[in-house]
A and B are shown apart, each in its own frame.
Chain A
């Protein structure tokens, strides 16, 4: 089955409302827009730039690692590269990307609402994010910092590099995140259309709800922690300074109290997208809707209980380490519930192979291996060997990049026709997807071996016998980059020249495919009434598109 283009039927009959892109024109109508869909596109533009910027930092450090030492940069620059790569990717891409782009665009549509509960707050969230990016860029231009994205004390409080703007950028970004979370929770509670009871919500909405709860509760903690770090750096107040009775491990406790739930802010929306893609491309109702929905809250809750597993070798007590190790393993249970339900949904299904589904397959592979290595790392006796090695780096890239980036790209392709009213070309999209997936696997699998052999993370130089693994990793990193370039070019070409998209090019049953592509400004002429479940195929979608 291929995407069906509609040439004959006019999309906008005389007198009909124009779509949200062509509706209001002029720069100010975009800069000051209150339309959640336009705000989503503003986010899309910015996260694309930050993603590529983070990728440039990554390529720079991987290029340096082609040789055991003294490659293309000195050690200090290398330290800045991995720090800025982490900061850019974590704070400016992974956390805002899926909620900011697809959450903003589709949350109101999927629940039958005309917009989010607080549109002006939504625009404020975007500008706070943009301000954070600008602050971060300013810090980077002034040399950036070399503390690692985790800003551990005492180095972060004593370094002479420009750490303050980067801390400020992360702080401001936090406010963007919190306000988005508040907006989404209130919208889901108060703006659901008639007939949209809780067990009829698309699973992407459940995922956004869980994400928003974490955003609201966890983000303030890192705001204060980074502020404490900044004040100590600037004034020498000594809260984390042992010479004044302080404890650097307190910083780590406070930092990871947010940053561990933060990885679930990144991953839960990706899991939500996966549910949507599985629901669309398996052409049968999703298995285990209730379990997938409720396991989202399992992950969100247990995610708050596990932060100490980042402190296993830091000087934390053995008692606490034991408690955190056990609690960390529980998260695997809820993730496995989702995995088994998705795979069960694919069993005996008529799979439609298209770029979004290729990304879904890549997502499954990378998430399963990323998740399993996470459970292995939660085993304290093993972590003593792997902590601060490339094993950890490979683990979190498998799961964070593997889950989030895969699903970001999958969502981008899946919802592209709806968002822009154009069809992209499937051939280059599929090639791009395969390159990206192979690139990821090739970049990070050698790193598991590197870490297990003892190669520490964030190290500029290494013994010569590790070189072949580093070279393999770098080559595949370049393949990954080429794949991403191909994806970007293909989508830009589609924006310019793509065929007009019908309402439902995929023949998918979910609610957003009922409205025009692209949608009108207020999504629906009047508030709809929902009378079916989101993954309920009624047959006519298949008939309409079987040409």
Chain B
């Protein structure tokens, strides 16, 4: 292998990244999303506030991963790692929350949502 071939080895990847203009566009989009999430938090969307906030955060982080972290066009194995981690996070959180949400109501803390004794005295 000649020295010149090797000097391009680092740069000879499927992804070459964006141009300066491209990175700037990505950055401006991220600022827009940040302001959007700030604004939507001020609106009363009821139960939808949390899913909307998480959706915007997920969009922002996906954009950061794909373009700033060069995952777009990177090897499949690198792309897989974060997906796998996120799946396990969802697994951990969902089964743990499901525990609390399905317990016998009187075992829940007195000030919690779960602790509700119906007026007719019949517990579910």
Contacts and interface: CB of A to CB of B under 8 A. Distances in A.
Q: Do they bind each other?
A: yes
29 contacts: A217-B84, A245-B109, A245-B111, A245-B112, A247-B100, A253-B95, A253-B96, A253-B99, A254-B96, A257-B92, A304-B88, A304-B91, A305-B91, A308-B95, A315-B103, A315-B107, A316-B99, A316-B103, A317-B99, A317-B100, A317-B102, A317-B104, A319-B98, A319-B99, A319-B102, A320-B98, A323-B95, A323-B98, A324-B95
Interface string A518-536: 0000000000000000000
Contacts of A318: 102
A221 interface: yes
A217 B99 contact: no
A223 to B, nearest CB: 14
Nearest to A217: B88
A242 interface: yes
Interface in B7-51: none
B85 interface: yes
A308 B91 contact: no
A120 interface: no
Main secondary structure of the interface of A (DSSP, over half): helix
Interface in A432-480: none
B5 interface: no
**Number of contact residues on B: which range applies?**
10 to 19
Contacts of A217: 84-85, 88
A392 B9 CA distance: 55
Main secondary structure of the interface of B (DSSP, over half): helix
A317 B109 contact: no
B102 to A, nearest CB: 4
B119 interface: no
B98 A221 contact: no
B3 interface: no
Contacts of A315: 103, 107
A492 interface: no
B77 interface: yes
Contact of B98 (A242, A249, A317): A317
A134 interface: no
A353 interface: no
What 10 pairs across the A-B complex have the smallest Cβ distances?
A319-B102, A317-B102, A317-B103, A320-B99, A253-B96, A317-B99, A316-B99, A257-B92, A245-B109, A320-B98
Contacts of B112: 245
Contacts of B88: 217, 304
A317 B88 CA distance: 21
A189 interface: yes
Contacts of B92: 221, 253, 257
Contacts of B107: 315
B46 to A, nearest CB: 24
A242 B95 contact: no
Interface in A294-312: 304-305, 308
Contacts of A189: 77
Contacts of B103: 315-317
A250 interface: yes
A305 B95 CA distance: 9
Interface string B91-124: 1100110111111100101011000000000000
A508 B107 CA distance: 60
Interface string A303-341: 011001000000111111001100000000000000000
B85 to A, nearest CB: 7
A129 B77 CA distance: 28
Interface string A237-260: 000001001010110011001000
